[in-house]
Amino acid sequence: MFGVEKILHESTPFDTSTVISITVFISLICLCIIIGHLLEENRWANESITSLLLGVASGGVVLLIRKGQNSRILVFNEELFFIYLLPPIIFNAGFQVKKKQFFKNFSTILSFGVVGTLISFCLVSVGVQFLLKKIGLTQLSVNDYLALGAILSATDSVCTLQVLNQDDTPLLYSVVFGEGVVNDATSIVLFNAVQSLDLSNLSAMTALALLGTFLYLFITSTLLGVLVGLLSAFIIKKLYLSRHSTDREIALMMLMAYLSYMIAELMDLSGILTVFFCGVVMSHYTWHNVSESSRITSKHAFATMSFISETFIFLYVGMDTLDIDKWKESNASVGTYLAVSSAMLSLILIGRAAFVFPLANILNYTKKNSDKKINFSTQFIIWWAGLMRGAVTVALSYNAFSGSVEVSNERSLMISCTLIVVLFSTLLFGTVTKPLIRAILGAPRHAVSYASDIPSLEYLDIPFLESQENQDNPENQETNLNGDEEPRQRRGGFSLIMKYPTGAVHHIWRKFDNKFMRPVFGGRGFVTYEPASPTGAADISHEQ
């Protein structure tokens, strides 16, 4: 009996340690789901914190079993994170996001995500160079300090998904999460740029080249995601795949979304931006072109893959915190750990405050309508909710300080202290955010008014977007005082655009979308009814 088991064990193609590791992680994910369900109504806890704490506890158990030798049952790999775990999370975020609210605040999101990240990057880079030298660390190079600036400026958009609710706090969710997605892309671009930066030839042209590279990556990555999303919508609309199998529809959506990410990485673009905007376009066009059963299945399938990836990431980060080898390699005292971690955390607080409050007030100055201004309470929550650091920070830290041939004590110390900052910020800020929102902002209000709904914008006349039907429609005539009908007098388009810029842009896009885009790529209300085909009925909340 035992001889047969031994033969089977020797003939198996799998490594036993790998099987054990995967088994442990699957068991822990199941446990996280159960605990998360039991704590669903708890205002202090969420799945991210539960997974993180369970990972720390599991790492402690493994450490005891191995008698203090090592707690790692999986070796952290940046490729595992960036290629397999991050894409489904970001894609689902774009697929599920309420587009009206997101694009309504797009200028704020870009300001915080791009300009704000650059401000934070500069302050944190200068700050760590000054403070770490005061602490006594002298082995790090200028490139390392710049890399730390990019690493510590990367917010945790994953945890934001769980501590904020886009139904209860639509403004906060769209701004903080949207900023997080753009921030991650900006941080990664900055990180890659400073890693290959030649400081011996540093000049003003270098800074301009860095800015030009970022703008190129941002625009190109976004366009790539939009193009792949439109291509998927066109293919599914023309071929009508559900005539034979709804599985083909869902498989094509999944594969094309992942293909957009991989093409972006292959072209050295930002895969995060590409897959996010691919998800936005797919939810606007492709999702309405598939059958009713495919809509339900795809929506839950994308959410499920995202949830599993999120849980896995936080489990691993929690378990990796107790990696005894890293702590031994750094060879630092408890006081040094506390000093470096405190310096990093303080710079994160200062760096974020340095752009959130000034930029918010500058944006408020440009808004004439007081209802659209971001008050101080909301600014404080935006500052607080963006202080969490997560898996992107960990992945970049490993990439910067463990990939070198010479791994010094101080470089190992940077990884350990980064993990401490991630653990502390997620537990503190992630736990307090929900109660803080309720305490400062009060009970959630679900009523949301959009600038595009302003009645006067219906008088905005854009000739090439107005169909002949609308021009000949009697309802577009209005009666004068003598009872004669005359064409409706339109207000000046320029004055309306200047008065309601966001609403005017949305109004123009809606007309362009209805006249040119949806007839070609499909979408809600533009799919021909056939038996067992999409009827055009859709969940309106998905569109908003």
pLDDT at 357: 94
In 3-state terms, what secondary structure has residue 165? coil
Which of 112, 8, 111 has its CA nearest to residue 385? 112
Are 354 and 461 in a shared domain? no
In a domain, residue 38? The reply is yes
Count of other CB atoms within 10 angstroms of residue 465: 18
Q: Find the range with the poorest average confidence among 24-33, 242-251, 419-428, 459-468.
A: 459-468
Considering only residues 422 and 499, tell me which one the structure prediction assigns the higher pLDDT: 422
Count of other CB atoms within 10 angstroms of residue 31: 16
In a domain, residue 7? The reply is no
Local confidence band at 125 (pLDDT 50, 70, 90 cut-offs):
very high
In a domain, residue 67? The reply is yes
* Angstrom distance (rounded) from CA 211 to CA 202: 14
Are 83 and 134 in a shared domain? yes
Are 415 and 477 in a shared domain? no
Tokens of 75: 């070796």
Count of other CB atoms within 10 angstroms of residue 205: 9
- Given the structure tokens 């736990």, which residue do they identify? 431
pLDDT tens digit sequence for 137-186: 888 888 889 899 999 998 887 776 667 776 677 778 888 888 888 888 88
Which of 19, 47, 45, 46 has its CA nearest to residue 32? 47
In a domain, residue 364? The reply is yes
Strand 485-487, strand 477-479: pairing = antiparallel
Helix segments in 196-290, DSSP class H: 204-239, 246-266, 271-281, 287-289
Are 411 and 472 in a shared domain? no
* Angstrom distance (rounded) from CA 420 to CA 409: 16
Domain edge (last residue) among 450, 472, 500: 450
Are 285 and 230 in a shared domain? yes
pLDDT tens digit sequence for 504-544: 666 677 777 788 888 888 877 665 444 444 444 444 445 55
Beta bridge partners of 485: 479
Q: Spell out the residues 6+ positions from residue 491 whose beta carbon is closer than 8 angstroms to its own.
A: 456, 459, 460
* Angstrom distance (rounded) from CA 274 to CA 280: 10
Considering only residues 447 and 526, tell me which one the structure prediction assigns the higher pLDDT: 526
Local confidence band at 484 (pLDDT 50, 70, 90 cut-offs):
very low
Helix segments in 442-536, DSSP class H: 468-472, 493-499, 501-512, 518-521
Beta bridge partners of 347: none
Domain edge (last residue) among 450, 467, 485: 450
Residue 464 predicted with pLDDT over 70:
no
Are 495 and 382 in a shared domain? no
List own/partner pairs for 231-234 with CB under 8 A and 24 or more apart. 231/256, 232/256, 232/257, 232/282, 232/286, 233/281, 233/282, 233/285, 233/286, 233/289, 233/521, 233/522, 233/523, 234/520, 234/521, 234/522
In a domain, residue 8? The reply is no
Which of 187, 263, 186 has its CA nearest to residue 225? 263
Which of 370, 346, 371, 374 has its CA nearest to residue 360? 374
Are 368 and 465 in a shared domain? no
Residue 103 predicted with pLDDT over 50:
yes
Are 475 and 418 in a shared domain? no
- The domain containing residue 419 runs over which residues? 19-450
Are 429 and 533 in a shared domain? no
Are 315 and 433 in a shared domain? yes
Per-residue DSSP letter, 68: T
Q: How many separate domains does the chain show? A: 2
In a domain, residue 244? The reply is yes
Are 411 and 455 in a shared domain? no
In a domain, residue 6? The reply is no
Domain edge (last residue) among 390, 423, 450: 450
Per-residue CA distances from 147 to 387, 395, 440, 457 (Å): 18, 12, 35, 47
Are 468 and 440 in a shared domain? no
Local confidence band at 1 (pLDDT 50, 70, 90 cut-offs):
very low
pLDDT at 438: 81
Going 176 to 178 to 184 to 186, the CA torsion angle's sign is negative
Rg (the chain; Cα; Å): 26
Task: Give the N- to C-terminal CA distance of the chain in Å, as an integer.
Answer: 62
In a domain, residue 1? The reply is no
Q: Spell out the residues 6+ positions from residue 269 whose beta carbon is closer than 8 angstroms to its own.
A: 217, 220, 221, 224
CATH of the domain at 350: 1.20.1530.20
Local confidence band at 112 (pLDDT 50, 70, 90 cut-offs):
very high
- In percent, how much of the chain has pLDDT > 70? 74
- In percent, how much of the chain has pLDDT > 90? 20
Tokens of 197: 């930066």
